[in-house]
Structure 1
Amino acid sequence: MAKRIHLLEKKVAELIAAGEVVERPCSVVKELVENCIDAGATAVTVEIKNGGVRYIRVTDNGCGIAREDVPTAFLRHATSKVQTEDDLDAISTLGFRGEALASVAAVAHVELITRTSEEPMGTRYCIDGGEETLLEDAGCPKGTTILVRDLFYNTPARMKFLKKDVSEANAVASAVDRIALSHPEVSVKFIRDGKQERMTPGDGKLLSTIHAVFGRQFAQGLLPVDYTLGGVKVSGYISKPSASRPNRSMQSFFINGRYVRTRTAAVALEEACKGSVMVGKFPACVLNLTLNLALVDVNVHPAKIEVRFVNERPIFDAVYHACKNALGADAPAQEIDLSKVAKLVRAPAAETAQQLTLSPSSAAPQAPLPKRGVDRAVLQAPADISYAPSPVVSIPSIPKAPAAPPAPRNPGWDIVVEEETQKEPQTPPAPKPPAKPPFAPSKEPAPTTGSPSAREARLIGEAFSTYILLESGDELLLIDKHAAHERLLYEHIKSQAQLTPQLLLTPVTVTLDRESYAAVLENLDTLSSLGFETEDFGAGAVLVRSAPLQMDGQDAGDLVTEIAGKLTKNVRDLTPERLEWVYHSVACRAAVKAGDHSNPQELYDLAKRTLEEDVRHCPHGRPVAVRLTKKQLEKQFGRIP
């Protein structure tokens, strides 16, 4: 039997429609504050209690609402911002659908107090669950105040999906921050449970608002952006390469003063920063794109946070070149003082430690090489110049795991180091040194022998300050020292099942977005168990006083930001069994980096441990070593077909 079709009751229809606009308290605050800005307000105050579920108050000094229009304002699709169909092609206001007040009134107790400049007396209007309950005169200043109480009181199914009060309050704070950044000419005050948490100056200067929202440290690491291309103006700030972030949480984009999520602009920003920002880091930004209203469609989603462009290419190009231009202006070419360079190169040998010199007795005469387009004299250094080696970066010590079962040894390798035989004066034997950490670089020289046997690997040296070169028989072994060191550190940390903390010489200040900041404060004990002694520093920043033993201050700050991002995404199970990603991050940041110069003894010790423990992959899955055979090389040189 076919079911009859009927119209929904007004109350049911309004509840369904309200669910599209009002998802949680931050949705209510966003819609109400946007109405304040559309009304021409220069000062807006937002106050919430219990995360905004029980109480929201939004006050502005805008134009107000005429008394005869107050009941109409709460009807669905009633608005003063759109008159005809053509107006939808060029929307210049933040709101335009006429759904916000009706949606809020359908699921809460709402009270409105308003007065225009032409009216001697204000108006007080109350509406509960979409039904008008009171309309009377009220004394009030020019502007509008809206109070929203008991959100979702009549829709318990929606109420049970709300998060804790602190999480909802953090979401409201984030919405207020974004609106404040989008309109620096408006002073925005935010009060949470009776305590003022934020107030922007409203002086029209974006940098002042950024300073008020994110703090001084974040504001000092920004570069100004002001660029116009193809009718698209890009203005605002991006972070300096040195102030890059470990995630994208501090990227804010605005289209004609409206906060939006745009993949086009985000990709353009990151493409522009390639080569300037380290791999694994992301630029932060507060960028406003101003373009023709007809080229962007904001009528895509009820929350108006998604937009569509008629043509995305001009948007990408404008953001890309604007950011490139800002980064280029920050790094002007520097002049080189050749006289100072000459002094450094010709420094006396006595003043430079461990200089590389050639003994006249050991320098045997060589037959001249045939010329092949390059004069050999050009390749020879003058005799009176001595060269200091590149600075050496020590590889941090890695204690071995507890000696329960002995570490598996790869029987095919035994590293030796070939050295020139030199006569040295006999010295009395030194007393036996005390026991040292198993992976500390050895004090005694590496073992030396004559020609290596089939079971030995000769340490040749290091290529590109990254790869350790070993020769054994007909094979050449290349070890990625960063990957190998990272794996050894990871295995050690994992075997300890904890991270040993150490106090930092200088505490590190970490600036976070609103939700990450609150998540860290809620989980200070968790961070302490990971070796991070962290405390509230105010204004969206936390102070890191201690970090795991293997890390320095900068790496500790980045990892705290990464952990905060996980906590924000409700990844709160940080038990030892779920801490693989933390161990990975600590090991990766603490390991010796590609490009760091290491002395032969450190290379020997690292290669020895790598081969003894048969390390094959780093924690991220990259290979640690690559083998190259003599046959492969001879094919490259054409010695064999």
Structure 2
Amino acid sequence: MPRIHVLEKQVAELIAAGEVVERPSAVIKELVENSVDAGATVITVEIRRGGVTYMRVTDNGCGISAEDVPVAFLRHATSKVSGQEDLDAIGTLGFRGEALASISAVSHVELFTRAEGQEVGVRYACGGDEEPLLTEAGCPQGTTIVVRDLFFNTPARMKFLKKDVTEGNSVAGILDKLAMSHPEISIRFIRDGREQLHSPGDNKLSSAVYAVCGKEFSSTLIPVDYLLGHVKVHGFISTPAGCRPNRSMQNFFINGRFIRSRTAMAALEEAYKGSVMAGKFPACVLHMQVACEAVDVNVHPAKLEVRFVNERPIFDAVYHGVRSALNAGDRPKIMELKKPSPYAPVLEKKEQLTLDKPGSSNQPLFLHDSGAQKPKEPELPKVIKQALDTVPKPVFKPNQPNLDTAPPQKAVPKPALVQESKLVMTQMPEPEKPPEEKPRQIVSDFSSRILGEAFGTYIIVEYSKDQLMFIDKHAAHERLLYERLKASRSGCEAQALLEPVTVNLDMEEYTAVIAHEQELSRAGFEVSDFGAGTVLVRTAPMLLDGQDAALAVMEIAGYLASFKTEITTEHMDWVYHNVACRAAIKAGDHTSRQELISLAVKLEHNPQVRYCPHGRPVYILLGRREIEKQFGRV
């Protein structure tokens, strides 16, 4: 039987370091968080080879006094927590007192620091099992920590590190989050001698987002500023059109700390429901301010996961804040037309076509002269010229007047067709024109003009003197019905079916439907248990035909069976989506002009309707200038 013994200090520190120091980015995270807690306004980070061989973090914070420097490298030594009661309201990024001890256990560390009010700084060197060295040194106020040869004494850990590029990207991600969490701090990141990030530190979140994410991303963001109870939410969210195929750009911060929160993520995506297409996810940079005692950050050594005393206020604040911002800041989609190339009929690919000539190699079809403004026209091959010469020339007939010389005569009807060569073809009698239909009187409260319908799907509206609007009639009708159902407190109006419809379901769907009879009743479906995985549908919403009732219940049952979200503000949303989609006008259906006008009027009176419940745009705008570009008018 093996004996129990106490591990040596060095072995215990190596084991403990594994919880804090996993890779170079973990080291950078701990060091820059200490700089933030020290009150720094400028932080510079430099790494080489992904941080494996060299890392340096410099700040202009308060510094460390000479007598406290050796103590700072002891395990569980910290200036941020002094008693048990402090753990109930942690307001700093660091508090465990394990970072410096863990880092020095697996690398060579060199520290330069000078505290405020001291004339001389100190240099402290340690690492592994080496004897620490403390000497005086001249240095500016603040702290500089240099970490070299990470995992030099734990080669097993070294084998699990990824390529230098991957480790460097991980460090960059940490600093991106820090720059957006603290826009009042200027963050400078130097990677292998090249500056990769430099945030301005002007205390403007928009500037930090611009520095981190770039112009294209930041130009499409919508500002959020919302207060609900004791929770404040501010930051930026992406437009529905700017949503991404994954959640990588969802950034949540709680009291200046980057976190991963399922509650905030669920609230964000719930607020976008009905505005984004399936498979797309919104992006955000959202800061949440709550009382420190309402959140517990002492959950994991990495401090990325937190627990809330009550998650409901967080969910509601994020949901309503994002929803309000979408309603106020989202704009309709503008159609942009690309100007066609003058060589589009000839150039089928991006590269120039070539023309084969007998006895010579391939030469470019268009030869550009450096001094010419326009390309030369291509010369036709000899064979084509001969073929064109054999075409008989058109001859004027004596009984047909020449339009260039003949005087105008009132009795002579206009020719049916005149070609560019000014030949007059055989005159055809003009068909009798049907009596012009007088334009119908548009509803007086509709400020636009309906031009017609295209492809049985899109309503064309002259929205203003400078814009055309194309409305997807199915998407518009679906969203209007959905909003009507959602606003009705009594739910959908139901109609009794002549004969109950039986719907066979699997056991999960069957159990879910029976458990949600009340919600289905609000949606207009009266469902009763028929046993053995079968339900009877006795009523259906007035908006639906009877034949759609069974299919609708099947889809709703499948949704309810897979419904995983525990926290949701609108539990009936998806059911209303289904009913509205089935009841709406379908693309290709014949629609009278009066119905088109009615739909356009309702859409104009509901400006917040911009997307169907599935996230597709209800309408897009085409500017007059874009059209005139195509005709060369501008």
TM-score (norm 1): 0.53
Aligned to 1:82: 81
- Whole-Å separation in 2 of the counterparts to 1:270 and 1:294: 27
Answering whether residue 453 of structure 2 is matched by residue 389 of structure 1, we say: yes
Residues 72 and 78 of structure 2 are in contact (CA less than 8 Å); yes or no, is this contact kept in structure 1?
A: yes
- Whole-Å separation in 1 of the counterparts to 2:226 and 2:450: 50
Aligned to 1:287: 286
Q: Write the letter of the residue equivalent to 2:163.
A: K
Q: Deviations over 1:329-377 (max 9, x none)?
A: 12589xxxxxxxxxxxxxxxxxxxxxxxxx989xxxxxxxxxxxxxxxx
Q: 1:291 to 1:329 in 2, by over 3 A?
A: same
Counterparts of 1:34-73 in structure 2, within 5 Å, are 34-73=33-72
- Secondary structure of 1:120 counterpart: coil
Q: Write the letter of the residue equivalent to 2:305.
A: E
Q: Deviations over 1:27-54 (max 9, x none)?
A: 0000000000000000000000000000
Aligned to 1:183: 182
Aligned to 1:309: 308
- Whole-Å separation in 1 of the counterparts to 2:193 and 2:231: 42
Aligned to 2:165: 166
Aligned to 1:128: 127
- Secondary structure of 1:162 counterpart: coil
Aligned to 1:265: 264
- Whole-Å separation in 2 of the counterparts to 1:169 and 1:211: 21
Q: Deviations over 1:456-493 (max 9, x none)?
A: xxxxxxx969xxxxxxxxxxxxxxxxxxxxxxxxxxxx
CA root-mean-square deviation: 3.1
- Whole-Å separation in 1 of the counterparts to 2:60 and 2:105: 26
State the Cα distance separating 1:211 from its structure 2 match: 0.3
Aligned to 2:95: 96
Aligned to 1:247: 246
TM-score (norm 2): 0.54
Residues 239 and 330 of structure 2 are in contact (CA less than 8 Å); yes or no, is this contact kept in structure 1?
A: no
Answering whether residue 206 of structure 2 is matched by residue 142 of structure 1, we say: no
- Whole-Å separation in 2 of the counterparts to 1:197 and 1:392: 52
Aligned to 1:203: 202
Q: Write the letter of the residue equivalent to 2:111.
A: L
Residues 105 and 130 of structure 1 are in contact (CA less than 8 Å); yes or no, is this contact kept in structure 2?
A: no
- Whole-Å separation in 2 of the counterparts to 1:244 and 1:3: 59
- Whole-Å separation in 2 of the counterparts to 1:82 and 1:247: 38
Answering whether residue 361 of structure 2 is matched by residue 297 of structure 1, we say: no
Q: 1:392 to 1:243 in 2, by over 3 A?
A: same
Residues 107 and 130 of structure 1 are in contact (CA less than 8 Å); yes or no, is this contact kept in structure 2?
A: no
Q: Deviations over 1:176-220 (max 9, x none)?
A: 100111000000000000000110000000000000000011111
- Secondary structure of 2:314 counterpart: helix
- Whole-Å separation in 2 of the counterparts to 1:387 and 1:189: 56
- Whole-Å separation in 1 of the counterparts to 2:236 and 2:12: 44
Residues 102 and 130 of structure 1 are in contact (CA less than 8 Å); yes or no, is this contact kept in structure 2?
A: no
Structure 2 stretches lacking a partner, 5+ long: 333-432, 436-441, 443-448, 459-472, 476-584, 591-634
Question: Which deviates further from its counterpart, 241-250 or 199-208?
Answer: 241-250
Residues 14 and 102 of structure 2 are in contact (CA less than 8 Å); yes or no, is this contact kept in structure 1?
A: yes
Q: Write the letter of the residue equivalent to 1:389.
A: E
Q: Deviations over 1:198-246 (max 9, x none)?
A: 1000000000000000001111111111111121110111111121112
Residues 222 and 330 of structure 2 are in contact (CA less than 8 Å); yes or no, is this contact kept in structure 1?
A: no
Counterparts of 1:235-634 in structure 2, within 5 Å, are 235-331=234-330, 388-391=452-455
- Whole-Å separation in 2 of the counterparts to 1:243 and 1:86: 45
- Whole-Å separation in 2 of the counterparts to 1:141 and 1:324: 48
State the Cα distance separating 1:298 from its structure 2 match: 0.3
Give the structure with higher Rg (CA): 2
- Whole-Å separation in 2 of the counterparts to 1:29 and 1:79: 18
Aligned to 2:28: 29
- Whole-Å separation in 2 of the counterparts to 1:105 and 1:113: 15
- Whole-Å separation in 2 of the counterparts to 1:331 and 1:114: 49
- Whole-Å separation in 2 of the counterparts to 1:101 and 1:386: 71
State the Cα distance separating 1:596 from its structure 2 match: 6.9
Answering whether residue 192 of structure 2 is matched by residue 193 of structure 1, we say: yes
- Whole-Å separation in 2 of the counterparts to 1:218 and 1:225: 16
State the Cα distance separating 1:4 from its structure 2 match: 1.6
Q: 1:177 to 1:597 in 2, by over 3 A?
A: farther
State the Cα distance separating 1:132 from its structure 2 match: 3.4
Q: Write the letter of the residue equivalent to 1:279.
A: A
- Secondary structure of 1:114 counterpart: strand
- Secondary structure of 2:132 counterpart: strand
State the Cα distance separating 1:595 from its structure 2 match: 7.6
Q: Write the letter of the residue equivalent to 1:77.
A: H
State the Cα distance separating 1:3 from its structure 2 match: 2.3
- Secondary structure of 1:132 counterpart: coil
State the Cα distance separating 1:281 from its structure 2 match: 1.3
State the Cα distance separating 1:386 from its structure 2 match: 11
State the Cα distance separating 1:270 from its structure 2 match: 0.5
Q: 1:221 to 1:127 in 2, by over 3 A?
A: same
Q: 1:221 to 1:11 in 2, by over 3 A?
A: same
- Secondary structure of 1:328 counterpart: helix
Q: 1:386 to 1:183 in 2, by over 3 A?
A: closer
State the Cα distance separating 1:133 from its structure 2 match: 3.1
- Whole-Å separation in 2 of the counterparts to 1:297 and 1:244: 31
Count residues with an aligned counterpart: 361
Aligned to 2:110: 111
